[in-house]
Structure 1
Amino acid sequence: MNMAVLNPLAGFCGHGLADQMRVALMDRVDAKFVVRPGALEQCLQGLRGAYTILDMDGCRRFVYDTLYFDSPDRRLFLDHHNGKLNRLKVRLRHYRHSKIMFLEVKKKTNRQRTVKTRVPVTFESFVDGSATRFLKEQSGLPVAGMQPALFVSYQRITLISTQNPERITIDTQLAFHSPDRTLSVDLPGVAIVEVKHDRHSGCSPMLQSLARHGCRPVAFSKYCVGTSLLYGSQLKTNRFKPLLRSLYGIGS
């Protein structure tokens, strides 16, 4: 994606990580949008007073690395594909700028709420067993059966509302890799915009702007999309084929 489309963000005031943590929204409702470059630029116009942007030492766009885990039979992927109401994802997320790593369990409840729990981890966390205990407690899964399933990298910009408990992430330059790096695919030319609230809200300037410019919410999971792109010939992906066609012109 031509990052010039994010020029409207240059005029946004910045906020720090401590400010952002006050809008952590670990238990939330959210909506995701797949937005093309021209529409994204239009959507951001006029929102300068409504949001601030995460700024750390002059940096406003940050690289995230995420390693997803699943069982050998891809149980977590198939739960999502089959529309299971209570489902989860397990991932190891590395924030390159701050050099912090978290082990996270992200749950989607039957009330369509997203609940995320996480714990900072180091090499010692795996040696002393604390990471394994966290994963077992939060997921209820047999930890010994979990294995690396997908690596995802992308660049993220984060906005928070100046008025409400609302956080917005804009992810670009998505790239998916098999854990051994033998398979790779990029997802150029789109941004994944996610609007997160503590509860459903009709007064979000970003949601209103997205609607004005014809952007509609979609069910988008980085893990499921990346897995489908890399392993679509080996797994059931029918549920995701319309999304894959719109993203990358495949899956027909």
Structure 2
Amino acid sequence: MWNSFQRITLVHRTLNERLTFDFNINFHYKEIDRNFNNLVIAELKQEDLNRNSPFFILMKQNQLRPYRLSKYCLGSIELYGEEKLKYNRFKKKLLYLKKFDDDTI
């Protein structure tokens, strides 16, 4: 399986944190392609949890909570499907993502 995505990284000058945005996420295996064009994965990287981070506050104000997601697992279930993987383990996450990227899943 191959994956590709674009990434933007923002570094805070005074707080010890980085914020990455992954978007245009694509997976490819043999003749199968899956694209998540409407999905953006944001990851806040901090040494110690700081709930006063501007991004943390912004997400809370917009009622967006942290959500664990592996791009590898997402690509695997989309490319290999129920035949090779235990789909039920990923079903909840896929249904959650469907809200944001209805064209793909």
TM bucket (normalised to shorter chain) is: 0.7 to 0.9
Structure 2, unmatched stretches of 5+, are none
Q: 2:90 aligns with which of 192, 216, 240?
A: 240
1:159 — aligned with what?
10
- Find out whether 1:199 has 2:48 as its counterpart: yes
Q: Within 2, Cα distance between the matches of 1:160 and 1:186? A: 28
Q: Within 1, Cα distance between the matches of 2:39 and 2:80? A: 21
1:211 — aligned with what?
60
Q: 1:173 aligns with which of 4, 7, 24?
A: 24
Q: 1:221 aligns with which of 59, 63, 70?
A: 70
Q: Within 1, Cα distance between the matches of 2:76 and 2:40? A: 18
4+ long deviations beyond 3 Å: none
How many residue pairs get aligned? The number is 99
Looking at both structures, which has the greater relative contact order when contacts are Cα pairs under 8 Å and sequence separation is at least 6? 1
User: Which AA in structure 2 matches 1:243?
Assistant: K
Structure 1, unmatched stretches of 5+, are 1-149
SS in 2 for 1:185: strand
Q: Within 1, Cα distance between the matches of 2:81 and 2:47? A: 35
1:59 — aligned with what?
none
| TM superposition shift of 1:190 | 1.6
Q: What pairs up with 1:42-53 in 2 under 5 angstroms?
A: none
Q: What pairs up with 1:2-151 in 2 under 5 angstroms?
A: 150-151=1-2
User: Which AA in structure 2 matches 1:223?
Assistant: Y
| TM superposition shift of 1:205 | 0.6
Q: Identical aligned pairs, as a percentage?
A: 36
The structure having more radius of gyration, on CA atoms, is 1
| TM superposition shift of 1:172 | 0.8
- Find out whether 1:187 has 2:36 as its counterpart: yes
Q: Within 1, Cα distance between the matches of 2:42 and 2:11? A: 13
| Structure 1 vs Structure 2 CA RMSD | 1.4
User: Which AA in structure 2 matches 1:182?
Assistant: E
User: Which AA in structure 1 matches 2:72?
Assistant: Y
TM-score, length of structure 2 as denominator length: 0.86
